[in-house]
């Protein structure tokens, strides 16, 4: 199991605390430092069953600068969104846990973290 975190994020710290409490075996990826490639983002999106705009933090300054609220949310725009997430990793929703069964979850709640651990 791998968890993508921003150490400054309270939801990420909470997820790590719960993983540690439960004795989970996991690897931490500080995705602001170890920035995911577009292909890695595509793979995580596939595991999540989501589109890039579904995991985009649209209230971030970079999102506003890019004008993301006006971007199309369709198949033809998918690569543009993925490129933006790779170029501006702060836009990626966090934390994301890739589960052992090949799926992934956006683990913003204790319930989601436990769900990832049970997979």
Mean pLDDT of the chain: 96
Q: Does residue 32 contact residue 58 with C-beta atoms inside 8 Å?
A: no
35 pLDDT tier (thresholds 50, 70, 90): very high
Does 12 qualify as catalytic in the annotation? no
Q: What is the pTM of this model?
A: 0.93
Q: At a CB cut-off of 8 Å and minimum separation 6, what does 53 contact?
A: 68, 71, 73, 81
Please choose, from the candidates 40, 54, 53, 39, the residue with its C-alpha nearest in 3D space to the C-alpha of residue 4: 40
C-alpha span between 67 and 49 (Å, rounded): 25
Q: Phi and psi (nearest 5°) for 60? A: -65, 150
> pLDDT, tens digit, for every residue of 51-109?
999 999 999 999 999 999 999 999 999 999 999 999 999 999 999 999 989 999 999 99
Q: Active site residue: 1, 2, 9, 48, which one?
A: 9
């Amino acid at each position: 199991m791998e968890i993508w975190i921003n150490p400054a994020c309270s939801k990420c710290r909470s997820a790590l605390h719960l993983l540690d409490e439960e004795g989970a075996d996991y690897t931490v990826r500080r995705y602001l430092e170890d920035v995911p490639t577009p292909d890695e983002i595509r793979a995580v999106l596939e595991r999540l069953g989501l589109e890039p705009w579904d995991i985009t933090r649209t209230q971030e300054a970079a999102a506003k600068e890019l004008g993301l609220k006006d971007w199309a949310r369709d198949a033809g725009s998918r690569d543009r969104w993925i490129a933006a997430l790779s170029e501006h990793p702060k836009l990626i929703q966090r934390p994301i846990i890739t589960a052992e069964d090949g799926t992934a979850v956006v683990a913003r709640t204790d319930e989601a973290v436990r769900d990832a651990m049970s997979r």
